[in-house]
Amino acid sequence: MGKRSLGHLLAEGLGVAQDLAEAERLFQEAADDGDAHARFNLARLWWGKRDPQTVAGLLRSATESGVEEAYGPLGDLLTSMGDGVEAVTWYFRAIPMRVTPTCSTTRSPWRAT
């Protein structure tokens, strides 16, 4: 959790100079160590910069590990990739969790955790 937390501070520039490259490295290390929230944060950094299938894979992995905040963004990404059917499934999963889908196909305003 320490790597993910420091990565979050660096990604957001909270109390430190923003350093996306170092945040990415820390998120990747934490994700490799099995941290599902780090996979979610890595997907956030890679959104729009890497292959959408790769980002979707990170989000799916995060959701399978119980990261409910990833439901809406996964729906958004799938919508932008033309897979509205699966996207709706993720939006519906978000409803009982009180996780609000972002419903944005151009950018995703979701925050790191």
What is the model's pTM?
Answer: 0.81
pLDDT of residue 106: 42
Which residues lie closer than 8 Å to 72 by C-beta, 6 or more apart? 90, 91, 94, 99, 100, 101, 102, 103, 110
pLDDT of residue 94: 84
Residues 63-93 pLDDT 10s = 999 999 999 999 999 999 999 999 999 999 8
HSE at residue 113, side-chain half, CA atoms within 13 A, is: 13
